[in-house]
Each structure stands twice: as structure tokens, then as C-alpha cells.
Amino acid sequence: MNFKLKPLSLAALATATVLSGCGTEEETIQKTKVFDDETKTGLWCKLPDIVQTVDADFHPLTAAEIDALETVALSIANADDTFTDQQVEDFKASFNPYDFDYGTYDLYQTLGLTMEEEARRLVAKAEAREFKINQKQDVIFGDDFDTWFDAWFDTVPYTDYLGKSQRLPKAALGMQLSLSATNNGEEACYTPPTECPNYQVIDESGKYNCIIPEENPIEDVPALPQAVVTAAATGEKAVIFYRKNGEQVDSNYENITIHTWNDANCTAYNEETSTTQWGSGLAATDVDDNFGMYWILDLQEGHDACGNMIVYNKSTGDKFITQNDAMIPLGKSGDVVFHNLDKISYFQDGFPANLLDGAYLANQHPYFGAAAGSKSCGWGTSLDEAGEACVGQAIDNCPEGTYAVGVGQVDIPSKCVAEFDPETTFLLRGGFNGWGNPTEGTEFEKVADGEYRKIFTYGEHPTDAALEFAADASVEVTTGVGATLTFVQPVDEEGTAVDFTLDLNNIPKDTVFTMADGTQVTLAESGNVVTLPEGATTPVVEELAITLPEGTLLTLAAGANHSDFACTEDCVTSYSFKIADADWSEPASYGGVSGGDALVIGGSPKPLTAGENVGQDLGIKMQDTSYYQFVFRAPAANEATLEVDQVPVNAYPNLLLGSDTISMNYKGDSVYQVTKRELTAGTYTVAFADTANDFALGADTDNAADVNEEVMLKADGSVITLTIPVDEKYDFLLDLSDADKPSFKAQPSKPLGANVAYIRGSINGWGAPASDEIIYNEDSVSYSVIYGLEASTDAHAFKFASEDWSSVDIGFGSVTISEDDDALTITEAGGNMQVIADESTSYKFELTYDAADFEKKPVLKVSKLPIFIRGGMNGWGEVDKLAFNAVTPASTGEDKEAGHEYTATLSLGADNVFFKVATGDWSTINLGSATDGVEAVTLDTPVVLGSANDNNLSFDPAAAGDFKFIFNDKTKTLTITQD
């Protein structure tokens, strides 16, 4: 663009300033276009240019500034410090400070602030101070607030509130127009650098407001879908795009929808076709490969300049882009804030909504190619390490009795809040109970310092509730004419298409079911079944699509995308809620870390945070006529969590064990438990009760019980007499899954309880011999077995299972594979695990559980664990390794590929030797004499080893020669023969 000095009158300049700046939601700015394209002159500058008064900020760079920029430019060009002296001189000779690309370098460090930037900094500081006062930080810091605020504000990067440094582009204009002090007071058209998230440009008002360019400054934007082009041409429709970064595929957008509504501020939508209820959403028009998911909405005739909307996941309630209510701009060219000529709006992950005058606006241009410049963050937030999101800043100096909230939360300004009073009465407040109004009956019971609980009884669903299927529900649909199934082409590991055979009783996951009305449902992992009408011919798969006969019954597995079908039974509905006191005070009001946080019933405890505008509404799905147990834990104000379970009774069962009353924890699946109770052998009385809630259970008939025995219970039954056979830790399980037949069982406190499991596989013919039992180690919370494997290029397949294959059956999907450096590679083979042994030696198979949660998948590790003959003959070292005896073991005379017998041949002199059988760690196996003294081993005589008093074994060869040591790690026997 050609820049011209413009000697405007003060009145004209004032008008220009208003017309070039940003307005508010309340005012509509009319723009008069009198720009002459031919002469490039006119009363006002053409957008996105703005009128600026010339001052020292526009003077060309000084010599000192040029020298400083040259130093910066050289450090960028020679970042790896490889330039020769001549290259440095050549660079300096050709350096142009105005043309050099400084990239993301912060030029404020070099050029400081212009006068205009300093003025905006003072305005911004006043705004920031007001913002922190609105956060009640003046109350938190008291008399120290001003000192704290000044120190905090000095840490905020200039780029966060001033945008990119404007000294260089202003100086470039000054150089082009040969501006100097003689031009001060005149006006010039100036294009500020693009800095706002929506390719907007900073205006001259000094408040870092933004105006919106009419055209997208990013080049080579892909063509819009034809349906969108057609809709935009009518002028009566709006389009909303939501794009996830990465490959655009339908599965990325599962359950994502929009919530749209009219209110007093925005009344643009056609109420009949384009507004929705929360939780139901609006089906997308399509998913475009470039722009993502999109919706085409009908507008009212003569609509206003905005539409309310939220992009969210209707299954979890999670919101995208912003946690606040958003708007799409629909205004004409003259409306600066809501300017959007084609009524097409864009949301994209990684780019926040535009916050202008309190409105969270969608973008008017898509993001393709280069980004729109560095992202600026609001007060109390800063860019994350990836530079993609604004997160709450770290605060290290909150006063005593307060703590920081919002730190690290996306789009949430951090601040300090006071800790709650330990005597606070917390209330359960949500949409399911009128948000705790009235408060009576919503109180949590305090059971210990920092621990609170409440059972909420949820009755029938309200008649106007938006119902949906529970996550674990399957759905049956009877098809009409035109229903089809479309399959994804199966491929092998190399990506090559493979033959496809349709099994009507096991329709594969990712199959798309399309009904006659166009409704599409993506099927879940397994359990999808097609039942054809009587007499119907089995359809043939043609081009991976089949047409179903009318009346076909299609059963959709749990988890399928069946939200488009109406729910009639086993339905859930969504609510929002928080934990708060009666006054909604900031210290005692807790919500989720991000808006719409979906709390999983029966899931892990969910972190909560206090703070006004910090703790967000939580989402929960409730099933009718159910009990929900809320457990709120806050051992410290900044360590709050919430756990919610759907429980079988309106009570907190206690275990009455002898004279002790022990509170039971809810395990899930209608089972309550007390774990790791250390008991000595003897008899104990057992019953279950919660007198406050009129709950009591005892023996139904037989009141004598043993460990591992299931005891049937009834209300107000007799006291149970339990016999504990040995000193050990025990778990007590109360099973209320069948309300008419409650039961109780005591079992050893181990991950597998009383179950005995074995390693079973190709290594032992899939049998369960006693020698292959996996043994529990309480200290490491692990089960393990040592097994000898024969070296082979073939894999050894195995599982861990009980003898009946039902009590325990642990396959590949039930474990987490160890990533330790010494761990063997474990792969899957039809649900089994498999390893390849490259050496005939002993291996340790080990399942390690989480001591705090036996329900978590155990970590499976298979590693070499060589066993050695260690003694005076080899310096007690790891020299003579026992190899797996793959050929003709002495005990059976049979060839084997795996087992428990190992051999090593040692060349010994005639002298007596002392030794032991041990692993390298001297702990996993450390076997010597089974007696109190040194035990002599004689030729061809098996000896049972032990470790009494850590005594050694001795062997007198009588004459030098080669001797074979044969060891069985299960029977702990050692035999020495002459080789």
C-alpha cells in the first residue's frame, strides 16, 4: 500500500479515531467509505490501516537502535556459531534492519517501549490492577497489595498486553516517508502488526482493542465445502466450523455437538430448526477434510448481530475452545465487534475464542498455514510451554492462610484464595436438587478431619429431562426400509487389504449403521449383532456395504454411538453441580479444574479446586431411582478430591468385628470392603450395621464361617462366628449385588484373594501342575514363578490362570507390560502373552500390583534370572551359570522345552569346595545347607537345600574331574554327578 501524509482537521481525526477503533456490544458503528482507490487518498485510511499522528515513535531507527538490531540479527542468523570472520563481515555489510526477519524474537528487549506503548502500558496497568481487585487480591494481600501488585505486573511480558513491538514497523514507515521532527503532529496511514488471535489488528486507542480485517491475511486457504458456499450465498443461514488439529476423521468428532439458544442479547436463530437443549445438541451437517465438523443453521428474518453457542461433548459435558458461553458474530461490515460478512464462523483447537468487550467470539477466518502471530494471554494467565494455550500463572507468594488456585488451568486466571474454615458445613449443590436451595438435607457428614460424605437419593427423572443411554447400555433397533451397514476395509500389519467375511453375530467395530432417515451410528468394540427376520436371506457383502431387510433387529454394543435413538429405559440424564457452603463463599466453593468436567461414577477420585470463576461446574449422569454416595476429601484446602459411586443401599455399612466397629469402603459392583486387616489365629464375631440409617445384617441360617467361605446374610440376622486359621492380613467383603441374597466372605488380603493361579501355556501344555503355581510376595505385592526356558526362535505362549480357567484368567489385555531395560519383549498372540527366549536359562515371570489399588492392571515383567553355583572354586562370583536342562532331565527322562531343572558342568580339583546355589542378587534364591552346620554333598545323592543360619554346602571331589550340578528350583534339590 502507498502511504500518504494526510493533513486532516482535528474534527476529522476524532471521527477517524472512532471509526477505526473497536466498539462495544451496545453501540453500532457506521462507517462512511470515502477512500479513493485511484489516488490512494481519502478522509479515512482503508481497513485495516488506521490514522496515526506522527511523533518520535515514527522517526527512522537511530544509529544505536540499528547497532542493537544488528547484534540481535547476527545471533539469529548465526545461532549455531559457525560463521567465519568473513561471513560475519559480509552479514553486517548487507544487513538491513528494516527487512530482516526477526521471527519470534521479542524486540522489546532491544528497542524498549515507544511513547505510545508506554502510554498503553500505564492504561493496561490500571486495568490489571482493577482486575486483581475484582479477584479480591487486595483483600488477600491487605496493606501489602500495592507492593505485591507492582512486583507481579513487572513480571507480565509486554507482549501479553501490548502485542508485538511497534517501534520497528513505525520506524519503517518513517524511513519510507522520510519522517522527522518537522512532521510531528501530521497524520499517516499505518498498518499495525497482526497480533490478535483472529488475525485482528491493534487499534490506536491505547487499550489494546482490536478491529477485524475483512479478508483473511493467510494465503492459500482451501476451498469451502460447496454446501457451505451455497448456504452463505443465501444470506439467511449461519455456518459454524469446529476443527480438531491433525487428521480430520469422523471418529475424532464422536459425541461432539453444539448448544445454540436465543436470549435478550442474541436472537438470531430460527427457534424451530436451529436452537437446542443442553445434552441433546444438533447433528452436524458434515465433517470436512480441511475445516472439520460443521453445522448450517437457519436464521430469523432481520436477525440481529450475534448467536449464542457452545461446542461440547454431549456424552461427557466437556466444553471446547472456551468454558464460557460463546457467540458467533453475524453483523454487517460496519459493526466492528460483530463484523462477519458471510456469517461463517470458525473454531479450532489450540486457538481460544476472541474476548472482546466481554463477548467470547468465534473467529471470522480459519487458521491455515502460518499462525496469526504470537498468542496474547489475559491477566493472570500466560502461555504454556507449547505456546498453544493460556494457562493460570504460577504464584509463589500467597500470604499465610491462603493458597494459589487456577495455576495451570486453561483460560483460567490464577489468584490467591483463603483456606476454608475446618468447621465449614459443606453442601451438595446441583441441578438435581435445586442447587441446594433450600439447604436443609443437602449437608455432608464430616467423618474425619478433611473427609466428608453424603448419600443422595435420586428419584424419577423430571418429565422435561433430556434422557440418554448409560455408557454401559446396549440398544436394540428394528430397522426400516433402506437401513444399511457399511464396513471399514480390514488391513494387515503392512496396511494391505485382506479378505472380509461377515459374521452376523459379531459385527466388527467402526461399522457405520445408516437408517432410512439418514441417522448414522458408529458401532462399538464388540457385541453388535444382526438378527434377520424369519425367512430372510443372509445379505451378501458388496463393496463393504450391505442393505438390511426391513424388520432386522440390530443390537448395538455398549459404548456405540447410539445417542440419536430415543431412550425409554435404563436412561440417564446429565446435571451440573458443585460442593459449596450455604453462602457460596469463595474458600468453601469447590468445582472442577475445567468446565463441564465429567465425573465418572465409580471412577478414580477427581481433583477439585476452590475459587470464584476458577472451580467450574462438574458434570454427572444419574440413573433414576438410585443412590449416589459422594465422598469429598480435603486434607488440605489445595488437595481436594471428590469420588462418587452408585451404591446399593442408603447406608454406610460398618463391619462389627469382635469389639471393633470398622467403617467399610465401597469397592464397586455393589460390594463393600475392609482390606488388609491384620488378625491372629482364633475365632471372631462378625456382623454388619449402620444404626443411623436402620441397616443391620447377620447370618441367614448357619452362623459358623471359615475363611474363603461365602456366608448368606439377612436383615437382623444372627452374629457370625468366623474362624481365622493363621496369622495373616485379611479382606472382608460384603456383597449386596442381590438385595434379596446379601453375602459376606473373608479372604487373605492378596490381589487374587484366595485363588490359586499358575503359569499356563505352550511351555507346559497349558496345564496347571503344582510346580507352576505363581507365589505371592507381600513385600513387593507381586506374584512370580521362576521358569527355565529353552532357547528358540519360536515364541513361548502363556497366561496366568486358575485350574478352572474361570476364577483367574489373566491374558495380554489384563496387564501392563513392563518397560524396564532388562525386561524381555512381550507380544500378544490371540489374547495370550508370548516371549522368545534367546538363551536356555532361568527366567522370572512376575505380576506386580499397585499396593493401593488391586483393581489396577498389574505390571507384567519377564526377565532373565540366572542361577549360579557360587563358591570357593569361583570366588563366590557369577561365573558358573546353571542352564535350563532342555534334554533328558534326570527326574523324568523326557525332553522338555521348559521346566524347573537346570545343570552346569564344573571342572574341579581334588580339594574339598564350599558353595551355595544363588542368583546374582543373593536374595531371590540363596540356598545352602538345610541344617545348622555345613552339609556335605556326595555323588549321585540328591540333597534338599535350605538356608538355615546361612550355612554352606561342601563337596569333596576326591579326584580332579568334570562334575555336573543338577538343580531343581521347585523341589530345591541338588544332585552332583561325575561327567
Q: What is the mean pLDDT of residues 118-123?
A: 88
Average pLDDT over the chain, rounded to an integer: 85
Tell me the pLDDT tens digit for each residue of 747-794.
999 899 888 999 999 888 898 999 899 999 988 999 999 999 988 888
Q: What is the mean pLDDT of residues 561-587?
A: 88
pLDDT of residue 28: 30
- What is the Cα–Cα distance from 334 to 349, expressed in whole angstroms? 29
Q: What is the mean pLDDT of residues 231-246?
A: 87
Asked if 718 and 689 touch (Cβ cutoff 8 Å), the reply is no
Q: Is the pLDDT of residue 370 over 60?
A: no
pLDDT of residue 210: 53
SS3 148: helix
And the C-alpha cell for 458?
Answer: 435420586
For 403, 581, 605, the CA distances from 587, given in Å and listed in that order, are: 10, 9, 20
Tell me the pLDDT tens digit for each residue of 79-92.
999 999 999 999 99
Element (H, E) at 915: strand 913-919
Q: What is the mean pLDDT of residues 134-139?
A: 95
pLDDT of residue 407: 94
pLDDT of residue 887: 52
Q: Name residue, grid cell 524474537.
A: 105
The DSSP letter of residue 809 is E
Tell me the pLDDT tens digit for each residue of 30-69.
333 344 555 554 445 655 566 778 899 999 999 999 999 9
Phi and psi based region of residue 69 (left: phi greater than 0; alpha: psi -120 to 50; beta: remaining): alpha
478 DSSP β-pair partners: 553
And the C-alpha cell for 359?
Answer: 463477548
For the ranges 3-12, 282-291, 372-381, 673-682, the lowest mean pLDDT is seen at 3-12
Residue 549 CA to its chain's centroid (Å): 42
Q: Is the pLDDT of residue 304 over 70?
A: yes
pLDDT of residue 201: 54
Global model pTM greater than 0.85: no
Q: Is the pLDDT of residue 597 over 70?
A: no
pLDDT of residue 447: 93
DSSP annotation string for 757-771: -EEEETTTTT---GG
Q: Is the pLDDT of residue 888 over 70?
A: no
Q: Can you point out the beta strands (E) in 707-742?
A: 711-715, 720-724, 728-735
Q: What is the mean pLDDT of residues 652-669?
A: 95
- What is the Cα–Cα distance from 843 to 111, expressed in whole angstroms? 66
Band (461; pLDDT cuts 50, 70, 90):
very high
Tell me the pLDDT tens digit for each residue of 714-748.
999 999 999 999 898 999 999 999 989 999 999 99
Asked if 491 and 497 touch (Cβ cutoff 8 Å), the reply is yes
Q: Is the pLDDT of residue 21 over 50?
A: no
Q: Name residue, grid cell 430397522.
A: 479
The DSSP letter of residue 81 is S
For 11, 152, 466, the CA distances from 919, given in Å and listed in that order, are: 94, 59, 64
**What is the DSSP pairing of strand 344-348 with strand 237-243?**
parallel
Tell me the pLDDT tens digit for each residue of 893-925.
455 568 899 999 999 999 999 999 999 999 899
pLDDT of residue 501: 73
Q: Is the pLDDT of residue 569 over 90?
A: no
Q: Which of 378, 372, 358, 357 is nearest to 21 (CA)?
A: 357
Band (207; pLDDT cuts 50, 70, 90):
very low
And the C-alpha cell for 336?
Answer: 466492528
Question: On the CB side of 976, how many CA atoms lie within 13 Å of its CA?
Answer: 22
Q: Is the pLDDT of residue 712 over 70?
A: yes
pLDDT of residue 860: 96
Q: What is the mean pLDDT of residues 496-517?
A: 82
Q: Is the pLDDT of residue 161 over 60?
A: yes
pLDDT of residue 192: 64
Q: Can you point out the beta strands (E) in 16-168?
A: 50-53
Asked if 528 and 534 touch (Cβ cutoff 8 Å), the reply is no
Band (208; pLDDT cuts 50, 70, 90):
very low
Q: Which amino acid is at 55?
A: D
Band (299; pLDDT cuts 50, 70, 90):
very high
Neighbour-count burial for 496-532, b at 16+ CB within 10 Å, e otherwise? eeeeeebeeeebbeebbbbbeeeeebbbbeebbbbee
Q: Is the pLDDT of residue 541 over 70?
A: yes
Q: Is the pLDDT of residue 287 over 50?
A: yes
Phi and psi based region of residue 56 (left: phi greater than 0; alpha: psi -120 to 50; beta: remaining): alpha
> First vs last Cα of the chain: how many Å apart?
98
Tell me the pLDDT tens digit for each residue of 677-700.
999 999 999 999 999 999 999 998
- What is the Cα–Cα distance from 574 to 70, expressed in whole angstroms? 60
pLDDT of residue 801: 95
Q: What is the mean pLDDT of residues 83-105?
A: 93
Q: How many CB atoms lie within 10 A of CB 328?
A: 29
pLDDT top residue among 590 and 162: 590
Q: Is the pLDDT of residue 957 over 80?
A: yes
And the C-alpha cell for 232?
Answer: 452463505
Q: Is the pLDDT of residue 969 over 80?
A: yes
Asked if 717 and 684 touch (Cβ cutoff 8 Å), the reply is no
Backbone angles phi, psi at 170, to 5 degrees: -70, -40
Band (185; pLDDT cuts 50, 70, 90):
confident
Tell me the pLDDT tens digit for each residue of 840-883.
999 999 999 998 788 889 999 999 999 999 999 999 999 999 99
DSSP annotation string for 653-679: -EEEETTEEEEPEEEETTEEEEEEEEE
